[in-house]
Amino acid sequence: MDKRMVDFIRALRAAGVRISIAENQDAMNGVQAVGIQDIGHFRTTLKSTLVKERNDQPTFEYFFPLFFSSNDPNLEDIYDQLTPEQQQMFQQAMNALMGDMEALKRLLDQLMRGEPLSQEQLDELGQTSGLQNGDDMYQRGWFERRMNQQLGMSQLLRMMDELLEQLAQMGMSQEDLNRLESLLRENMRGMSDQVSQYAGASLAERMAEKEPDPKPDLLDVDFHRLSQSDLDHLREEIRKLAARLRTRAAMRQKRSKTDHFDPRRTIRRNMRYEGVPIEMRFRKKQKKPSLVLICDLSTSMRYCVEFLLTLVYELQDQVTRTNSFIFISDLVDVTMDLEEHDSQIAVEKVLRENPPGYYSTDLGNSLNTFSRDHMATIDHRTTVIILGDGRNNYNNPRLDIAQDMQRRAKRLIWFCPEGQNQWGTGDSDMHLYAGKADGVYLVRTLRHLADAVDKILAEG
């Protein structure tokens, strides 16, 4: 049992659950105290000592039965529930249909007797399906299908339907046929569960045998690969990330308070002294940028937009002014929503009130709305950031407006989650928009996004 527990803990670690050596020992001591006779107490002891975070509870519940549950399904002996005449009728129908398919006949007979698959049968199925080469739980469904295919479950289903038809022609009542079909299907379900349990337990044991891969830093995981638990964790961490960026920006502001010598203004000021530099002139370097954010809120971009808006509004003391807009098929001004509430509450409200729907992305139309109603938010001190993949559903990209925005602004920057090799493919107009921008940042991960925001703040 000790080895089984060690393997269980190693499998949990391989699945990403953080378990310390002290917690491992606590689990061992707890089981020694409560014993293993009561499976409920045993399970509760392990769960209370090994699981610290709510997000890890489903992982525990998934792996526990793979290590500590019996693999013997509760199958019914169907022959015992048939009369001698029905048993004889069943054998005649089976012989008439099966022909030379001895393996399928033996499986059906095993199913009728309520006998679970033997360990030898399961091992053979696992060997022929390549289960010995599996080492991760995401492969479980594939191996289950392969093993059921090797077992002949799909052929057995077809044969069962033909068998019931034959029995009906031989005079078995519909009530008895329905009862027989129900029992057969229940036993087949039990066998399938046995195959599933075997595949899952085998993979879990192999996961326990290998050293767990180091868990990647969530800051470096692509947005589209983040699980819901990963996203929840990042939402908790983003304030800490913003605090680090704020400290870095504040240090830059402090260093920039020293006035810089301005040679042009000094020369002009001292022309009355025939060029002798009697009066020095200095200039202060402005480090706080004024921002205009235009964010693609379509389904593929929502997490990226959520994190960008949260970061920027956590850093408002490092920004002169921010005007924010989101778009899918048309532009929506969300500046007031974001200014009136705490950043995370405000961003959640924006996402909730602008859900994805049947409408398709149309950046060109959104730029047209911006040009008509909001172009005055851009001046020579403004940094315009457009967050999107440049995919425009073959609509007019309105490059003329993008160029006008770039001309009016201090600079126009794109934050794009797609690499340059994807620009111009399908409905992408990114290769065209890039020509009207002062720069493009790749933002596939939260670290990319944070680094891009930090650079914008640094350049002022």
Alpha-carbon distance of 219 to 390, in angstroms, equals: 24
Work out whether strand 260-261 and strand 282-283 pair parallel, antiparallel, or are unpaired: antiparallel
- Residue 56 sits at the vertex; the CA angle it makes with 54 and 61, to the nearest 5 degrees, is 105
pLDDT greater at residue 324 or residue 70: 324
Within a 13 Å sphere around the CA of 123, how many CA atoms are in the beta-carbon half?
A: 3
3-state secondary structure of 57: helix
pLDDT score at 253: 63
Q: Give the model confidence (pLDDT) of 150-170 as tens digits.
A: 888 888 788 788 878 888 888
Token pair listed for 184? 């057969």
pLDDT score at 371: 95
Q: Give the model confidence (pLDDT) of 90-109 as tens digits.
A: 777 666 665 546 777 777 78
User: What is the DSSP code string of 78-112?
Assistant: SGGGS-HHHHHHHHHHHHHHHTT-HHHHHHHHHHH
Fold for the domain defined by 228-255+288-459: Rossmann fold (3.40.50)
159: which residues sit within 8 A by CB, 6+ positions away?
Answer: 97, 98, 101, 104, 108
Beta bridge partners of 282: 261
pLDDT band at 238 (very low <50, low <70, confident <90, very high): confident
Mean pLDDT of 404-421: 94
pLDDT greater at residue 190 or residue 325: 325
Mean pLDDT of 361-366: 92
Alpha-carbon distance of 188 to 445, in angstroms, equals: 46
Of 230, 255, 265, which Cα lies nearest the Cα of 460? 255
pTM tops 0.75, yes or no? no
**pLDDT at residue 286 tops 60:** no
146: which residues sit within 8 A by CB, 6+ positions away?
Answer: 129, 130, 131
Mean pLDDT of 108-123: 84
